[in-house]
A = this chain, B = another copy of it.
Amino acid sequence: MTKPVLVIIDPAIKLPAGAERSTVEQSGDRLRLADPDQPQINVTDLGVTRGDGIFEAFGVSHGTVQAVEPHLSRLARSAKLLDLPELDLDVIEQGVRLAAREHEQVPFFMVKLIVTRGIEGVEEPTAWALAFVGDDYTARQQSGVKVVTLDRGYRHDVAQTSPWLLQGAKTLSYAVNRAVIREAKRRGANEVIFISSDGYVLEGPNSTVILKSGDTFVTPRTDQGILVGTTQHALFGIIESMGYATDYRYVEQHELTAADGLWMVSSGQQISAVVELDGNPLDHDHELTQELLKRLVERSL
């Protein structure tokens, strides 16, 4: 079994404003390889006591860390929504790359980056990057996913009206994102699409929703308290290069069943076709899905 690689990161900006930013050389003492099988987190770290932190999950395909800049931008956005101290994205990037480099070079693996608010009372952020072989998504990629739609409980505009609900931040408070997968399994499915309380399509608990309507690929607008999809962003580039149109707009629930194709995309699974929605089979274009999967996996080669 491939052994995970853990890099502990000291992630906060350390230099006064205006001073020279840390360089790769200077970052050395702010990165430290550690044993992932040994306890590394304090019981009063706010990451564990309050789910008070943020994360990103990078795919590493044939040695290349995918979508580094989109992930780091989203991390910075999440940090801002949570009023975390400013993060040193250079050092964090070095930590992610070090974990990827030290990991056994299997064709595809993940690097999960976590930043917490730190130990209560101290509140200097705790951070680490863990490289590991993630879930095997081959079956999903080949045979598709069965999806149920579940109420997210919030209106689609809640990020604007009530920013303290942290919608649009990728936080460690993911108990709901885990609970909905258990609910999906109880219903004989294995994936979820969240619907806003006023009927708009949002996102999956760990993925972005893409639908095809004629020759246009559509994803829900991200001003609805959902995450900017890093894999969706890459996919739209690929799709446009293939001659299709793309669109970010509000998507109503009834459009899911009427679509000419429906997919879930994320760093881990890359892309899977939705083959069943709320118990009803959906048409899907296997060849197109496989072509998109191939281009996504190979995008950085």
A residues whose Cβ falls under 8 Å from a Cβ of B: 4, 6, 36-53, 55, 82-83, 112, 114, 116, 128, 130, 150-155, 158, 161-167, 169, 171-180, 182-183, 197
| Cβ of A112 to closest chain B Cβ, rounded Å | 7
Please report the C-alpha to C-alpha distance between residue A260 and residue B221 in the assembled complex, in whole angstroms: 46
Interface of A is mostly: mixed
Contact A182/B39 with A48-B116, A154-B154 known, Cβ cut-off 8 Å: no
| Cβ of A254 to closest chain B Cβ, rounded Å | 19
For A130, give its contact among B37, B44, B114, B178 (CB under 8 Å): B44
Contact B173 A175 (CB under 8 A): yes
Contact A6 B43 (CB under 8 A): yes
Which residues of B lie under 8 Å from residue A50 when comparing CB positions?
Answer: 51, 172, 174-175, 177-178
Please report the C-alpha to C-alpha distance between residue A152 and residue B154 in the assembled complex, in whole angstroms: 9
| Cβ of A111 to closest chain B Cβ, rounded Å | 12
Which A-B residue pairs are the 3 nearest by beta carbons?
A51-B51, A173-B173, A41-B41
List 28 A-B residue pairs with CB atoms under 8 Å apart, sorted by A's residue number. A36-B42, A36-B44, A37-B42, A38-B42, A39-B42, A41-B48, A45-B48, A46-B178, A47-B48, A48-B53, A48-B114, A49-B172, A50-B51, A51-B172, A52-B174, A82-B175, A150-B164, A153-B162, A153-B167, A154-B197, A166-B175, A169-B175, A171-B173, A171-B175, A172-B173, A172-B175, A173-B173, A173-B176
Which residues of B lie under 8 Å from residue A116 when comparing CB positions?
Answer: 48
Contact B173 A174 (CB under 8 A): yes
Contact B150 A153 (CB under 8 A): no
Which residues of B lie under 8 Å from residue A52 when comparing CB positions?
Answer: 174-175, 178
Which residues of B lie under 8 Å from residue A53 when comparing CB positions?
Answer: 48, 175
Contact A158/B162 with A51-B172, A52-B174 known, Cβ cut-off 8 Å: no
